[in-house]
DNA sequence: GAAATTGTAACTATAATGGTTACAAAATTG
DNA sequence: CAATTTTGTAACCATTATAGTTACAATTTC
């Protein structure tokens, strides 16, 4: 088990943003839904921004929103954004080179683990954020967001509407 | 990444035993090949014994050996013996129940993670310890073990040869 | 310039894994 | 039976990853 909820939280965050559409979400709001601290969310958003999945903006109308079409963003993109190193790890300390098993086990295991990772990636590649959101809807209440006030820089960054160009906007 | 090498070490240990055949291996010997402490190996052997994959015996001729046919023991058996809880984990703290995403994300993610786990298990199920050993051989030296001295209890436990019956022998 | 929000550092807490020492229990040998 | 060997097991420490918290500078809007 990878006693680590980063993947689950990342999918949660992106689903929230897909759900809320154009409206940028503040780390505070996201943290409330995820039930954690806003800084934990901001740290994760940095990873997701670095992978080009979200854009964020500082300032009073700031927040984060998706940078991509949720119907084209797969869970594999999310997985890779978090830089997991594979499902299993090899030995911490290299095995004995004086033992016929030890000297080759890492090579053989590496091939096996590659097969495992490929299988995981194949599954993740076939599920999109939009799929997740669709599967959330049958159970949940629908919210509609009217005329969200969007920071000009963020709107511009995503090729939307109005306003002056922001000085800096990190997309990757 | 599951920064944890238990699976790799377990496959290593079982491959060693498949390699050495009838001869019971001492935790000391195994630890040398794996390059770790004998107690770490013994702890892992407890898990493997509980799953019925190895048998161990105390005493001067003691040690551990496979309890099953390595050609029929799959890496899925090994994986399950270690009681991993799946590739990914869900949220540590339950998400907000006041949010339409938070209230259902665990259910939806649970289904997704089940798909991932099934894919991993399918791969592991199709690789045996014997497969691993066969893939080790082309690169390594072959050792042949003649007339290993085997503890009577351990020999008896596996339905082999000679000797008095051991008082107790843990197989599961 | 004031207010709000992200980016980021620094620190602590928690949990899983791994390493180490120590010793009781079990098995073999003589 | 006594000595020896090895596992079973507890107890403790070290290391690492993740998560949580506080604090504050930089950015953006008004």
pLDDT per position as a tens digit, B55-94: 999 999 999 999 999 999 999 999 999 988 899 999 999 9
Cβ atoms < 10 Å from Cβ of B143: 11
Residue A140 CA and nucleotide D9 C1' are separated, in Å, by 50
Q: Which one of B5, B87, B140 has the shortest CB-CB distance to A103?
A: B140
CA distance A161 to B166: 82
* In the predicted structure, residue A163 carries a pLDDT above the cut 70: no
**Res. A9 pLDDT band, cuts 50 70 90:** very high
Question: Which ranges in B38-101 belong to alpha helices (H)?
Answer: 38-50, 75-81
Chain A residue with Cα closest to B95: A34
Half-sphere exposure of B145 (CA within 13 A, CB side): 13
Residue B80 CA and nucleotide C21 C1' are separated, in Å, by 31
Contacts B140 to A, Cβ<8 Å: 100-101, 103-104
Instruction: Verify if strand C has an atom below 7 Å from the CB of B4.
Output: yes
Question: Which ranges in A74-101 belong to alpha helices (H)?
Answer: 75-81
Q: Which residues of chain B between 85 and 104 are close to nucleic strand C, CB under 7 A?
A: none
**Res. B100 pLDDT band, cuts 50 70 90:** very high
Sequence-distant (6+) residues with CB within 8 A of B91 are A5, A8, A9, A12, A34, A35, B105, B106
Residue A61, exposed/middle/buried by CB under 10 A (0-12, 13-18, 19+)? middle
Q: Under an 8 A CB cutoff, do B108 and A135 touch? A: yes
Is pLDDT larger for residue B168 or for residue A20?
Answer: A20
pLDDT at site A166: 39
Question: Which of A23, A84, A96, A99 is the best mutation test for B, with the most CBs of B within 10 A?
Answer: A99
* In the predicted structure, residue A158 carries a pLDDT above the cut 90: no
CA distance B60 to B82: 28
**Res. A168 pLDDT band, cuts 50 70 90:** very low
CA distance B8 to A171: 38
Instruction: Verify if strand C has an atom below 7 Å from the CB of B40.
Output: yes
* In the predicted structure, residue B12 carries a pLDDT above the cut 50: yes
Give A39-90 pLDDT, tens digit per residue: 999 999 999 999 999 999 999 999 999 999 999 999 999 999 998 889 999 9
Rounded alpha-carbon distances, angstroms, from residue B107 to A19, A33, A61, A129: 17, 15, 33, 15
**Res. A138 pLDDT band, cuts 50 70 90:** confident
**Res. B163 pLDDT band, cuts 50 70 90:** very low
- Tokens 């990342």: give the residue: A10
Q: Which residues of chain A between 85 and 124 are close to nucleic strand D, CB under 7 A?
A: none
pLDDT at site B137: 83
Question: Which of B66, B98, B116, B122 is the best mutation test for A, with the most CBs of A within 10 A?
Answer: B116
Task: Write down the number of H helices and E strands in chain A.
Answer: 7, 2
């Amino acid at each position: 088990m990878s006693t680590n909820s980063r993947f689950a939280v990342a999918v949660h965050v992106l689903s929230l943003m897909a759900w809320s559409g154009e409206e940028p979400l503040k780390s505070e709001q996201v943290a409330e839904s995820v039930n954690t601290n806003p800084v934990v969310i901001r740290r994760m958003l940095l990873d997701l921004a670095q992978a080009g999945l979200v854009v964020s903006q500082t300032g009073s109308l700031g927040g984060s929103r998706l940078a991509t079409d949720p119907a084209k963003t797969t869970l594999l993109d999310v997985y890779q954004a978090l830089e997991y190193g594979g499902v299993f790890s090899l030995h911490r300390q290299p095995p004995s080179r004086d033992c016929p098993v030890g000297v080759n086990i890492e090579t053989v295991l590496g091939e096996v683990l590659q097969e495992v990772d490929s299988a995981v990636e194949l599954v993740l590649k076939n599920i999109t954020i939009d799929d997740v959101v669709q599967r959330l809807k049958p159970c949940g209440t629908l919210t509609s967001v009217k005329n969200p006030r969007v920071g000009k820089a963020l709107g511009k960054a995503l090729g939307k509407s109005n306003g002056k160009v922001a000085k800096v906007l990190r997309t990757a």
